Structure 1
Amino acid sequence: MEIKVGERSHVEVITDIFNHFILTSNTRFEEKIFTYENRLDWFLQFNPETKHQIYVAVKDGKVLGFACSQAYRTGMAFSDTVEVTIYLNEKAKGMGIGTALYTRLFSALSVQAVHRALCGIALPNESSIKLHKRFGFSEIGVFNEYAKKNGEYISSIWLEKLFTSSCTM
């Protein structure tokens, strides 16, 4: 398996991974699937030279998952904060791919001006919570039943990770 910088050619598979979760779980709150065009617009925010990065795990020419860091909110007040996301193909879980993706992403972010990384995880999702805690994230709270999808209320746990990069101001 290889961890690579995400490229435009990966957008179609990334879209498929997102759509799987939209259709089969409350992990994603959207009720309508993403289009390739929608995800391509989203993908254009990433650049390996900035704090907004995306990496993919590739094995035998197939993308098995991705991890990314993106703006938490707009505005200068949040410029040193990123929100991180990780998604794996259902068949790729339990193979160490999430660990490999986050190892690469957090290594890259350690030399960027990142002060804090945030992550929201729809509940229940013990495996994602364990992964994030393994990388130094700590719980900051739960938004109880704050979203609704397919008639069901969804809660999310929020976690944070402090970066001590020499680039952080």
Structure 2
Amino acid sequence: MHEIDETLVELFPAIADDLPGIVAIQNHAAATSHARFATRPHRMQERRDWFAQFAKTGPYRMLVARRGNQVLGYACSQRYRDQDAFRETVEVSVGLGEDSRGHGLGTALYRALFGLLAEEPVHVALAGIALPNDASVALHRKFGFAEIGIFHEYAVKNGQYLSSLWMQRLHSTRLPGPDQS
């Protein structure tokens, strides 16, 4: 595995100008894999509404990795459910451009995101991973996520039933160090 060249890639809180790059990553993943359950491309307006939940402080964050003006990937923590009982629970995800996979960028984004969340009132982070996706499962395990269970064949995309593995990470879980990319 080749590491990312950190002199060329920078991590930032996402801003509205990043949204086209984020949407492009999401739409490419939806069109070419089962990693996203979207069955049609996202329109910018619907993603603007979704993007509005993220802030520079608090438990709902989005970070982007950029090389120049190009968005290479993102990681986010978002509301799990609308009920107040889930106010200390976030759902996390990471999305990488096709050419940005396998270089440690997902690790760098999650390390930065969980570092920010360490100071927030977050008790548990959840992740739902469409199966099979060995790379995503390995990334989440690296960050202390434990397997909770599988929702078997609960979604349909392209005429195929999809299952997803749900994982969780308690707030007290230790982050991997920089040498554990």
- Shorter chain as normaliser: what TM range? over 0.9
User: Is 1:69 the counterpart of 2:77 in the alignment?
Assistant: yes
2:36 is paired with a residue of what secondary structure?
coil
- Deviation sequence 1:93-135 (CA, Å, 0-9, x none): 1111001100110000000000000000000000000000000
**Alpha-carbon distance in 2 for matches of 1:61, 1:12:** 11
CA distance in structure 2 between the aligned counterparts of 1:128 and 1:45, rounded to whole angstroms: 24
Three-state SS of the structure 2 residue aligned to 1:46 is coil
Using the TM superposition, give the Cα deviation of residue 61 of structure 1 relative to its aligned residue in structure 2, in angstroms. Answer: 2.7
**Cα separation, 2, equivalents of 1:147 and 1:36:** 24
**1:8-157 matches, cutoff 5 A:** 8-157=16-165
After TM superposition, the structure 1 stretch with the greater mean CA deviation from structure 2, 101-110 or 29-38, is 29-38
The letter for the 1-side match of 2:48 is: L
Q: Structure 2 CA distance, aligned partners of 1:37 and 1:112?
A: 29
- Normalised by the size of structure 2, how large is the TM-score? 0.89
Residue identity matched to 1:21: A
The alignment partner of 1:154 has SS state of: strand
- CA shift for structure 1 position 85: 0.7
Code of the residue aligned with 2:76 in structure 1: it is C
Secondary structure of residue in 1 paired with 2:39? coil
AA matched with 2:12: K
TM-score normalised to structure 1 length: 0.95
Aligned residues: 165
Post-superposition shift, 1:60?
A: 3.2
Q: After superposition, what is the alpha-carbon deviation per residue over 1:60-102, rounded to whole angstroms, capped at 9, x for unaligned? A: 3311000000000111110100000100001001111001100
Paired AA for residue 12 in structure 1: P
Paired residue type of 2:114 = F
Structure 1 stretches of 4+ moved >4 Å: none
Gaps of 5+ in 2: 1-8, 174-181
Q: Deviations over 1:15-47 (max 9, x none)?
A: 111100111111111211101111111111000
Tell me, in whole angstroms, the C-alpha distance in 2 between the residues paired with 1:141 and 1:103. Answer: 24
